Amino acid sequence: MKRNLVASSLLAASLFSIPAMAAEDTIKVGVLHSLSGTMAISETTLKDTVMMLVDEQNKKGGLLGKKLEAVVVDPASNWPLFAEKARELIEKEQVDVVFGGWTSVSRKSMLPVFEELNSILFYPVQYEGEESSKNVFYTGAAPNQQAIPAVDYLMDELEVERWVLAGTDYVYPRTTNKILESYLASKGVAEADIMINYTPFGHSDWQSIVADIKRFGGEGKKTAVVSTINGDANVPFYKELGAQGLSSEDIPVIAFSVGEEELSGMDTEPLVGHLAAWNYFMSVDTESNEEFVEVWQEFIKSEDRVTNDPMEAHYIGFNMWAQAVTNAGTTDAEAVQDALIGVSVPNLSGGYSTMMPNHHITKPVLIGEIQDDGQFDVVWETTGLVAGDAWSNFLPESAKLYSSWTKPFSCGAYNMETKTCSGAQ
């Protein structure tokens, strides 16, 4: 009887150890992107991108002698659900890193979870800045890497004097426009020459708003729309511009959230000549980009599928994470967070992007003009790479803040006047 009990115990122990051993043999990568709801138009492709990057890394032998395993969840464009799904990935699935989010409201929803559990999030989309977390690595553009250069281009190259700041009603557009208002004022633009409008996610009735824009732009000064409209609301917005006869020559629109993926689902005729500001376009002519597009279309099994800026941000962030894990010799979050600072990897525009101490990266800035085939013709770009600012110089309270996650600061919001850390440490 004793022998049987011992044998049974050993058998039970071995059965329980199989999943644990299997888990130890893989490195889990969390994928937290909306696959349904209003943001699915943009985020589904990012889920596929991470799946491709995991697949490509496994073809190279994985990391630290282990295969990578992608764990996908769908927060369904439901902002509170992002926090719940983040906790599920970290606590239940025990992922070592998460790639996810699009809107700032989704990022801010999950941020406390990543800080509480000391995990790592790579956030791949342009955002409003005014944040630096020990647990978040921002591979999308900060305002000084997109919004400010876009305004400079419109002002210097197109001689724009009146400004429509049109956005979806949430934190990214509101904060970005607050920065732009201050920046425009510093350039001598009068308050009367700035029109601001916000609409909810998924907004579809643009007739009266576009009519207001048309009237505002018909008062004798060159006018442009700076658009922080997000998600599927862009489709009826551009359609209404065309319906009311507003071409890019009349009132150009420069968008921060319309890329190749969004254009692939639109009738591009009313959009031709309008602009977008990003850090990457599919049309960039480099060997690394050509290879990336080829690998992507082979993975997705379609020569019609496009690439876009947030995909490149995931490409950069994933390769930075892989390099940091290799350098640290572990997936331990604390060690990888330290190892990420200073890591440089190729971007797809022909240069190298570097992770700065404020957890933002260096990126080129490109202005692209929409073509009738849904691609962009690059009409302007910076001469070099621009380092992302966590805190804007154009907001008085932010101008005094400095972010560095290296010693002696180790602070996301170090106040240079009071010499104290006013943010998370």
What's the pLDDT band for 350 if we cut at 50, 70, 90?
Answer: confident
CATH architecture of 8-141+288-363: 3-Layer(aba) Sandwich (3.40)
Whether 8-141+288-363 shares its CATH topology with 144-285+367-387 is answered: yes
Which pair of structure tokens corresponds to residue 200? 């909810």
What's the pLDDT band for 423 if we cut at 50, 70, 90?
Answer: low
Q: What is the per-residue pLDDT for 17?
A: 38
Q: H or E stretch including 420? A: strand 420-421
pLDDT over 80 at 18, yes or no: no
CA diameter of the chain:
98
> Which residues, listed in sequence order, are joined to residue 354 by a DSSP beta bridge?
344
Cα dist from 273 to 212, 218, 247, 368, whole Å: 21, 19, 8, 9
pLDDT over 70 at 127, yes or no: yes
Which is nearest to 343 in space by CA: 324, 322, 315, 359? 324
The residue to which tokens 């992302």 are assigned: 388
Q: What is the per-residue pLDDT for 9?
A: 42
| AA identity, residue 123 | Y
Can you tell me the distance from the alpha carbon of 388 to that of 356, in angstroms, rounded to the nearest whole number?
Answer: 8
Q: What is the per-residue pLDDT for 61?
A: 97
Q: What is the per-residue pLDDT for 19?
A: 40
Query: What's the chain's average pLDDT?
Result: 92
- Residue boundaries of the structural domains of the chain: 8-141+288-363, 144-285+367-387
Q: Which residues of 355-374 are buried (b: 16+ CB within 10 A; e: fewer)?
A: bbbbbbbbbbbbbbbbeeeb
In degrees and rounded to multiples of 5, residue 148 shows phi and psi of -65, -50
Can you tell me the distance from the alpha carbon of 141 to that of 365, in angstroms, rounded to the nearest whole number?
Answer: 9
Give the list of residues 6+ apart from residue 96 with CB closer than 8 angstroms, or none. 27, 28, 29, 120, 331, 333
CATH T-level assignment (fold) for domain 144-285+367-387? Rossmann fold (3.40.50)
pLDDT in tens, 131-162: 999 999 999 999 999 999 999 999 999 999 99
Task: Read off the DSSP letter of residue 145.
Answer: G
Can you tell me the distance from the alpha carbon of 193 to that of 408, in angstroms, rounded to the nearest whole number?
Answer: 45
Can you tell me the distance from the alpha carbon of 138 to that of 122, in angstroms, rounded to the nearest whole number?
Answer: 6
Q: Which residues of 290-324 are buried (b: 16+ CB within 10 A; e: fewer)?
A: eebbeebeebeeeeebbbbbbbbbbbbbbbbbbbb
SS3 196: strand
Sign of CA dihedral 134, 358, 127, 422: positive
SS3 388: coil
Tell me the mean pLDDT in the region 93-109.
96
